Amino acid sequence: MSEGTFPDQRRFIRDDDYQAAYKETLAETLDLRNWDLGFDPKTILKRFKEQVGHAVRDEDALRDFIRKDFFPRLKLPRDAPECAGVYPASMERLAIIHESLLFPGRVEAVNSTVVSHDSLPIAITQIGVAIVGYGGNTGVFSQRLFRKELSSHTDGRKLVREIFEKRQARAMDEEEDTLSKLASRNIRAHAELALLLDRSKAPWRMGYGNPCSRELLSGSGYSSLLEASLELLQRLVRDHQKFVFIPNSLDDRGLLTFGNALYGGEYAIIDTLVDESAYIVNRWNYDDADRKKAMAFVKEYCPHIVRGLFRASDQSPPYLFYAHREHVHVAAHVAMADSILRRERGFPMLLDVADVACRGAFGSEGFLGMVNDAYAQAGAKFHYANERKRRP
């Protein structure tokens, strides 16, 4: 296994950065004379209205400019897909998708949840995955990983030294704990895709997030996991093709800025996943063989995956979507048809139903209840059963 990581891209925040973001200097923020004494809801609400009003008006002006200047240029870049552009959704096609695909159960979605417990004796990670469709056929799958650092050792002093060093290293760099990330992110992403391909029987498959995510393209430094993930992605792009993936996050704020300029009932096809996926591969610390495998996948398969934006209604935010270029227009309509069932949220209901199914079967309360019961049965002290939480 190679310890693959991205180089640290963080930089110091300087005074001008802070002032540009918050419209005041850091010294002014820290000056206690500028802090409010007590709690005055009327004054606070007035300031909220002023600040939010300015922000909304500025965003509306930017939205108009994007519609007039940016959207007409989507087809101009040399590497833009032929289907690039902004399109109105067909109400007739949305109705057909409701009647012939969604409600008969010919679209199935996969979502997952992860819960964990971490104490000195043991760390437990539970991954739950659900497949759901409106046809009533659902399946839930789970895996539990038990991480124990202690093992039988004849030399007590050596054992204590090794365990202390290992645990101290985790404490000093907990955010970069490779094994924890492997369990909670990479194995989870691999399981979602594997179940979507091998256990779903619907013609159309819906997934959460980016199909060519960093977790799948890196394998977290494990050659075997990388090879297995790339094989799944090849099958998705080459053999299945009828898929749509939608993330529910603001991670890609740049693209979502363009999505905010869409009217309700519109979708835009922006680009392929070549550049974004190549960036992931170029920044990851693979060994030479794994880098070649990952980049070969990007060059051969990522031109067939396009990235777009859709907005189900004027009341809902925009969302990204990913689809095969041969089926991108149907994929956009599938995502929007499922999203307009709740116009105020505008996100595919199937993905939320799958999330609820996961949390119902594998939520944190039931998981922690079983963990606490296991400690009690083992005769352990209660301090092992306490959740370790940092101050937010």
Q: How confident is the model at residue 296 (pLDDT cuts 50, 70, 90)?
A: very high
Name which residue leads in pLDDT, 32 or 4: 32
Q: How confident is the model at residue 119 (pLDDT cuts 50, 70, 90)?
A: confident
Place of tokens 């009533």: 136
What is residue 175's predicted lDDT score, i.e. its pLDDT? 44
- Lowest average pLDDT, out of 111-115, 340-344, 371-375, goes to 371-375
What is residue 60's predicted lDDT score, i.e. its pLDDT? 87
Tell me: do 286 and 354 sit in the same domain: yes
Tell me: do 89 and 141 sit in the same domain: yes
Structural domain contains residue 3 = no
Tell me: do 60 and 96 sit in the same domain: no
Residues 31-83: pLDDT tens digits? 998 888 888 888 889 988 988 998 889 888 998 999 999 899 998 888 889 99
- Lowest average pLDDT, out of 9-23, 56-70, 164-178, 200-214, goes to 164-178
**pLDDT over threshold 90, residue 178:** no
Region 90-97: mean pLDDT is 95
Region 244-260: mean pLDDT is 86
Q: How confident is the model at residue 166 (pLDDT cuts 50, 70, 90)?
A: low
**pLDDT over threshold 50, residue 391:** no
Structural domain contains residue 100 = yes
Tell me: do 64 and 90 sit in the same domain: no
The set of residues, in sequence order, having a beta carbon less than 8 Å from that of 131 and lying 6+ positions away, is 108, 109, 110, 138, 139, 140, 141, 195, 196, 199, 200, 354
Tell me: do 44 and 89 sit in the same domain: no
Structural domain contains residue 20 = no
Tell me: do 285 and 264 sit in the same domain: yes
What is residue 1's predicted lDDT score, i.e. its pLDDT? 42
Structural domain contains residue 390 = no
Tell me: do 262 and 323 sit in the same domain: yes
Tell me: do 224 and 252 sit in the same domain: yes
Whole-number mean pLDDT of the chain?
85
Final residue of a domain: which of 73, 95, 123?
A: 73
Tell me: do 144 and 51 sit in the same domain: no
What is residue 125's predicted lDDT score, i.e. its pLDDT? 87
Q: How confident is the model at residue 199 (pLDDT cuts 50, 70, 90)?
A: very high
- Lowest average pLDDT, out of 92-96, 152-156, 355-359, goes to 152-156
Domain that holds residue 226: 81-150+182-375
DSSP assignment string, 214-251: HHHHHGGG-HHHHHHHHHHHHHIIIII--EEEE--SSS
Structural domain contains residue 362 = yes
Structural domain contains residue 240 = yes
Tell me: do 187 and 42 sit in the same domain: no
Tell me: do 105 and 63 sit in the same domain: no
Among candidate residues 187, 193, 183, the one with its CA nearest the CA of residue 131: 193
Structural domain contains residue 251 = yes
CATH code of the domain covering residue 294: 3.30.2170
- Lowest average pLDDT, out of 38-52, 104-118, 169-183, 316-330, goes to 169-183
Residues 228-237: pLDDT tens digits? 999 999 999 9
Final residue of a domain: which of 56, 73, 90?
A: 73
Region 95-116: mean pLDDT is 94
User: How many angstroms separate the CA atoms of 15 and 353, rounded?
Assistant: 45
Percent of the chain with pLDDT over 90: 49
In the DSSP assignment, the letter for residue 284 is S
Structural domain contains residue 177 = no
Number of domains composing the chain: 2
- Lowest average pLDDT, out of 112-121, 184-193, 320-329, goes to 112-121
User: How many angstroms separate the CA atoms of 147 and 140, rounded?
Assistant: 23
What is residue 14's predicted lDDT score, i.e. its pLDDT? 81
User: How many angstroms separate the CA atoms of 81 and 307, rounded?
Assistant: 10
User: How many angstroms separate the CA atoms of 217 and 149, rounded?
Assistant: 28
Residues 309-367: pLDDT tens digits? 999 999 999 999 999 999 999 999 999 999 999 999 999 999 999 999 988 888 888 88
Tell me: do 48 and 144 sit in the same domain: no
